[in-house]
Amino acid sequence: MHDHASPGIRGADNRRLLSVSLAITAVVMVVQVVGAVLSGSLALLADAAHMFTDAAALVVALVASVVAARPATERSTFGYQRAEVLGALINAIVLIALSVWVATEGVRRLLGPAETDVAGGLMLVVAIIGLLANAAAMWLLSGAQRRSMNVRGAYLEVMGDLLGSVAVIVAAVVIIATGWVQADAVASLLIAAMIVPRAVSLLREVVSVLTESAPQGTHVREIREHILATPGVVDAHDIHVWQLTRGAPVFTAHVVVDDAALADGCAPGILSRLQGCLSDHFDVEHSTFQLEPAGHVEHDAHA
């Protein structure tokens, strides 16, 4: 068993930063929803949905940091890391549905008559609050995101929402200056277009994990070549690699070892080198090798 979770992921300081950023994001999201209802701005509502993606990303990051420190149990031998995947699945489905609704409503408002009055002043104030909140969250995460991939993901989500707030501010200024309320619909379409690719990417990653596909960027052939290059190894088969959740790959393989190496008591050294190879070159958190003599090879149905 190899544990490669970064101290940055498990660190209490990072959890504190993520918690503060989540609190800021959640509060501003509620303010944006209220502002959208009072001002009639679809763009503010879309930006609130965008903020929801940030809040979800921060929650996932917090879950990952807590789960990384939890030990496995007799019932949950791998721990509870799949809870993060299920949460991400729900998040992706909600985001796609919300984006479709925002885009449909935006097109209707853009092409149809201006049925809804938009209070540009209130819209501008709420959008500025959102911009400042995102800037504050980015500042809080700026240092930690250089040390932790987990925090880095949350940082990039907040950066994306900051751009959404800029789009709402521009639309509000246009409405105040010209009275062209369709600017609100244009901004909502831009924000929806920013949400959909992220939601689809998240859904694709969830499906990959749940179907136990090899992690992105992991090449089984390359791993097999490293195994075969280990002194004493004759062959390798039944190689499987999947991930419990993002950043938690699992690897198993049957490794055929030279009979002389087994007779000389070299098996522990071979096993240590194999595990070190998986750890150093492929950052595999959990690896299991079954060492076999040359005359005892059994291929399973998925070889």
To 10 degrees, what angle do helices 120-141 and 42-67 make?
Answer: 20
Q: Does 227 reside within a domain?
A: yes
Query: Who wins on pLDDT, 10 or 153?
Result: 153
Cβ atoms of 133 and 233 within 8 Å: the answer is no
**Are residues 168 and 22 located together in one domain of the fold?**
yes
Q: Does 299 reside within a domain?
A: no
* DSSP class per residue in 136-153: HHHHHHTTGGGT-HHHHH
Domains identified in the chain, total number: 2
To 10 degrees, what angle do helices 42-67 and 149-178 make?
Answer: 170
SS3 call for 230: coil
Whole-Å CA distances, 292 to 90, 113, 251, 263, 298: 43, 75, 17, 12, 9
Each residue's pLDDT tens digit, 230-278: 888 989 988 999 888 777 788 999 999 988 877 778 888 888 889 888 8
Q: What single DSSP character describes residue 3? A: -
**Are residues 137 and 22 located together in one domain of the fold?**
yes
What is the C-alpha separation between 28 and 22, in angstroms, rounded?
10
Mean pLDDT of the chain: 80
**Are residues 32 and 176 located together in one domain of the fold?**
yes
Instruction: Name every residue whose Cβ is closer than 8 Å to that of residue 82 and which is 6 or more positions away in sequence.
Output: 209, 244, 245
What is the C-alpha separation between 31 and 45, in angstroms, rounded?
10
**Neighbouring-strand partners of residue 289:** 253
**Are residues 240 and 179 located together in one domain of the fold?**
no
Token pair recorded at residue 81: 């890391």
**In residues, how long is the chain?**
303
**Are residues 165 and 122 located together in one domain of the fold?**
yes
CATH code, domain carrying 109: 1.20.1510.10
What is the C-alpha separation between 206 and 85, in angstroms, rounded?
6
Backbone angles phi, psi at 251, to 5 degrees: -135, 135
Q: Does 21 reside within a domain?
A: yes
Of 154, 178, 210, the last residue of a domain is 210
Each residue's pLDDT tens digit, 34-86: 999 998 888 888 888 878 877 877 777 677 667 656 777 777 777 777 777 77
**Are residues 206 and 226 located together in one domain of the fold?**
no
**Neighbouring-strand partners of residue 164:** none
CATH code, domain carrying 247: 3.30.70.1350
Question: H helices within 3-119, ranges in order?
Answer: 7-10, 12-39, 42-67, 82-111
| Per-residue pLDDT at 177 | 92
Each residue's pLDDT tens digit, 105-147: 889 888 877 656 788 899 999 999 989 988 888 888 787 766 6
Q: Dihedral, CA atoms, 69, 75, 77, 79, nearest 10 degrees?
A: -30
Q: Does 245 reside within a domain?
A: yes
What is the C-alpha separation between 140 and 81, in angstroms, rounded?
26
**Are residues 89 and 190 located together in one domain of the fold?**
yes
- With a cut of 90, say whether residue 173 has pLDDT above it: yes
The domain in which residue 278 lies consists of 220-293
Which one-letter amino acid corresponds to residue 17?
Answer: L
| Per-residue pLDDT at 1 | 37
| Per-residue pLDDT at 13 | 66
**Are residues 288 and 173 located together in one domain of the fold?**
no
| Per-residue pLDDT at 228 | 92
| Per-residue pLDDT at 8 | 40
| Per-residue pLDDT at 105 | 87
Token pair recorded at residue 85: 């995947």
Alpha carbon of residue 182 to chain centroid: 34
pLDDT-above-90 percentage for the chain: 13
Torsion sign across C-alpha atoms 221, 287, 151, 207: positive
For range 214-235, the mean pLDDT: 88
What is the C-alpha separation between 164 and 266, in angstroms, rounded?
60
Q: Does 35 reside within a domain?
A: yes
Q: Does 122 reside within a domain?
A: yes
**Are residues 30 and 146 located together in one domain of the fold?**
yes
